[in-house]
Structure 1
């Protein structure tokens, strides 16, 4: 925490305006089964607390504790304002949908709490400088001189189904190339989208550079970073005329605190800038037309949460899902609860447990926006919302819809 002078004046970090009293920060990481990756988030949270002079806790989207909901609940009794800062490299579904959905639920649960939602790490000069330093370390290991040798760089990111995120990788590669003596800096991806790392490296080989530096654009040193290193080693063996090696991920370098501090300040002053002009949930982009619209974005976020409830443990598929076939959300907010939603929830769970055919995860939800028409029960990925459900209807929803995939038509409130 920050010190005090004259017994009353609280010191404020450089460039920060406003009082820091009664405020906390929640640093949200993705979460991993590898505790080393989770510790990285906690380490950055400690560093950010020292930097900002306000309490900073770590929370996780999945696979680690505490969840975003639990982390906010833990901070809520002690502060009046929480600023959520994302430890995400790019703005894809987690940043655009999943975390905002959790924040919206928390605002409903804690109506007296002000919760600001920030943006992703994104493009920042400190990150460009950090990547340049990572490249220089590889050059030193290879014994090449950027000033006199022909050095190519491949910036390899995870890859996303969101065109916004993939476009930012290309932008970051271009910024790394500007003003530096690399012969080329090219973007690549380890999965999901093209160009894949192997293909990009083969293209680079045609230029016959003296060396090729592969930079993993990852926060932690996990499975995907290992794949990138393997790709660089294979390339080095296949092309003896090009010295090649991979660098280190971003890790917990202090420059990330510079970026997180800027993102915190933007969020707490409600000046967050998101790339809405190229967001597939807001505008029609070729190939992504079916994703446009708030309802579809919410559906995607909810189904993604359900899918992540039970992740596969296969080592070579770190983001594979082994999720239930359906996710059932029961609104237990004030009006639905008064009309018997808790009893509906329990009956659904009990009937599902007794069924041999049902493959569904049944959870409570905060407000679904149909107050006075509930209890509301939403079934995904079908996008079917049932209204006015009572305890006796639960058995039919399970036996007909969840077991046999037949909609209970007379209970339908709306479909997405």
Structure 2
């Protein structure tokens, strides 16, 4: 059911919404998020601002800070297609940091777009448009569809792409609906198209499962064109991305209602950070996920050439997280943090970023210092130990064994 702002028992007074997009070096993509935010404000009847995870401004912290001056409750609505690391790690980290920074502000965190009937209907319309372009009709011709998503290292996210493809197939007269990915996982678009060609359909509709018309959507269109040239007996073309279709607002409205009433339903049963899935055993563990999120948050680098790869990271060799939660702070964590930063500045070898962290779950054993990606945690660290951690571990990869609390 689409969200209806007039039917909810929760008051709309003193509330705002933050629509969180990924962020892009292409301003056109960022403007799409802002356009959706303006449309969503008209739909919900509450103020809606846009914020970004990275690469664009304002970031989540600044956006929430701007809203905190005028409202007492902010609900985050995420413009992410699937629940991969951004949804599971980066946004929750930013939300917790916002809660810590604004004691009088209630911050609700909404879910990603996910699998929703409105999105299936939108994909169906995108397919119809391509059929019209090619001069075919699924009711009379064998029309195959390939739904092409970005691809993720998270199996939970990839499985949702397959679920959407299956829902698009059910009840419609397509010859078949296959799933493909631009990268990271398989099947890649080229391989999926070659596989579909073996069934000799009359036409192949390639649907980019993307929000905007950016680099990856361009690659999908190029892939469809190359396939069309290689297989002249099959008409093929790619459709448009989701864009700012009003049905996106239907989904965002539902996600808003879920979040503000604390009824968000995440897919925890298949989350690689919570349960052990075959092939992803090393990713289990909240602390590891939190450290990954901290690293990602701090190390996105600007690049001059954005066409080669739209999502490249230039991370330091190591990331050091210092717990500054209440117990560790009382035991001297601020002095440890400053000592590590000063020692790193003085070193000519150290390539590390050193940041604060919320609780690492080792209260009473701190101050705690975690070095990532090594997975080494130091406990009961004091200011005098900072030089040893930098000069031995960060400079020369020699673990300071007498300080080790645990390893991940």
- Report the TM-score when normalising by structure 1: 0.91
Which residues of 2 match residues 122-161 of structure 1 at below 5 A? 122-161=114-153
Q: Which position in structure 2 is the counterpart of 1:309? A: 300
Which residues of 2 match residues 331-410 of structure 1 at below 5 A? 331-334=323-326, 336-337=328-329, 340-370=332-362, 373-410=365-402
Q: Which residue of 39, 42, 48 maps to 2:34?
A: 42
- Following the alignment from structure 1 to structure 2, what is the Cα–Cα distance between the partners of residues 80 and 70? 16
Q: Which position in structure 1 is the counterpart of 2:242? A: 250
Which residues of 2 match residues 12-411 of structure 1 at below 5 A? 13-306=5-298, 308-310=299-301, 313=305, 315-334=307-326, 336-337=328-329, 340-370=332-362, 373-411=365-403
Residues 133-186 of structure 1: CA deviation (Å, up to 9, x unaligned) = 111111122222232222111000011111111111111011111222211111
Kindly state the Cα deviation for residue 314 of structure 1 after the two structures are TM-superposed. Answer: 5.5
Kindly state the Cα deviation for residue 374 of structure 1 after the two structures are TM-superposed. Answer: 4.3
Q: How many residues align?
A: 404
- Following the alignment from structure 1 to structure 2, what is the Cα–Cα distance between the partners of residues 311 and 374? 35
- Where structure 2 has 5 or more consecutive residues not aligned to the other structure, the ranges are none
Q: Determine helix, strand or coil for the equivalent of 1:153.
A: strand
Q: Which moved more, 1:393-402 or 1:348-357?
A: 348-357
Q: Determine helix, strand or coil for the equivalent of 2:87.
A: helix
Q: Determine helix, strand or coil for the equivalent of 1:120.
A: coil
Q: Determine helix, strand or coil for the equivalent of 2:291.
A: helix
Q: Is the 8 A contact 2:25 2:56 kept in 1?
A: yes
**Structure 1 residues 34 and 352: alpha-carbon distance in aligned structure 2, compared to 1, 3 A threshold:** same
- Following the alignment from structure 1 to structure 2, what is the Cα–Cα distance between the partners of residues 259 and 101? 23
Q: Determine helix, strand or coil for the equivalent of 2:191.
A: helix
Q: Is the 8 A contact 1:108 1:366 kept in 2?
A: no
Residues 202-223 of structure 1: CA deviation (Å, up to 9, x unaligned) = 1111121111110000111111
Residues 41-83 of structure 1: CA deviation (Å, up to 9, x unaligned) = 1111111111111111212112222222222222223222111
Q: Is the 8 A contact 1:303 1:381 kept in 2?
A: no
- Following the alignment from structure 1 to structure 2, what is the Cα–Cα distance between the partners of residues 73 and 393? 36
- Following the alignment from structure 1 to structure 2, what is the Cα–Cα distance between the partners of residues 228 and 127? 19
Kindly state the Cα deviation for residue 195 of structure 1 after the two structures are TM-superposed. Answer: 0.8
Q: Determine helix, strand or coil for the equivalent of 2:98.
A: helix
Q: Is the 8 A contact 2:181 2:188 kept in 1?
A: yes
Kindly state the Cα deviation for residue 341 of structure 1 after the two structures are TM-superposed. Answer: 4.1
Q: Determine helix, strand or coil for the equivalent of 2:165.
A: helix
- Following the alignment from structure 2 to structure 1, what is the Cα–Cα distance between the partners of residues 184 and 128? 29
Kindly state the Cα deviation for residue 372 of structure 1 after the two structures are TM-superposed. Answer: 5.7
Q: Is the 8 A contact 2:300 2:312 kept in 1?
A: no
**Structure 1 residues 339 and 287: alpha-carbon distance in aligned structure 2, compared to 1, 3 A threshold:** closer
- Following the alignment from structure 1 to structure 2, what is the Cα–Cα distance between the partners of residues 198 and 159? 14
- Following the alignment from structure 1 to structure 2, what is the Cα–Cα distance between the partners of residues 165 and 55? 30
The CA RMSD measured in Å over matched residues stands at 2.1
- Report the TM-score when normalising by structure 2: 0.92
- Following the alignment from structure 1 to structure 2, what is the Cα–Cα distance between the partners of residues 14 and 206? 52
Kindly state the Cα deviation for residue 327 of structure 1 after the two structures are TM-superposed. Answer: 0.9
Q: Determine helix, strand or coil for the equivalent of 2:46.
A: coil
Q: Which moved more, 1:362-371 or 1:86-95?
A: 362-371
Kindly state the Cα deviation for residue 17 of structure 1 after the two structures are TM-superposed. Answer: 3.1
- Following the alignment from structure 1 to structure 2, what is the Cα–Cα distance between the partners of residues 410 and 401? 12
Q: Is the 8 A contact 1:26 1:84 kept in 2?
A: yes
- Where structure 1 has 5 or more consecutive residues not aligned to the other structure, the ranges are 1-11
